[in-house]
Amino acid sequence: MRKVVSILPIVAILLAVLVGWQIGGVYVENYEFSSDLRDLAAQNNVRTGLQPIATESELKSAVMASAHQHGIQLAPDHLTVHRTLTPAAFAANGTLETPTLLDISIAADYDAPINLLGLSFNLHFAPKSSHNAPIIVK
């Protein structure tokens, strides 16, 4: 009886570590995916000299590839991508009042499955990111 009582805390600690490891891993994947969404919304590939993403469908496929890379099962209908280009406004004398603005917003909605010793449940995540910036042509 004494051995069972001394082993019980060790089993409880190991079980807590197992649960924490699986749930923590899902949260880390979501954090990394959210970081990729921020990078894609900010169009960082333009700043690094890579080819810019020109259309919403290209942006959507880049987000889907990022989700797949992080092991996230993201359905295409749970992904929303909007890319809006607002043209520049000029004053009557021909001077630029407001530059051309590019507004990008990305939102995903997915469930991450967790399986723990026969118990299964889903954690829901809804990462999103948006960015707008002037387009400067030299």
Write the pLDDT tens digit of every residue in 52-86: 666 788 889 889 999 999 999 999 999 999 888 78
User: How far apart, in whole angstroms, are the C-alpha atoms of residue 71 and residue 68?
Assistant: 5
Q: Which band of pLDDT confidence, cut at 50, 70 and 90, is reported for residue 45?
A: low
> Do 104 and 127 meet the contact criterion of CB atoms below 8 Å apart?
no
pLDDT computed for residue 91 by the predictor: 74
The pTM of the full predicted model, rounded to 2 decimals, is: 0.78
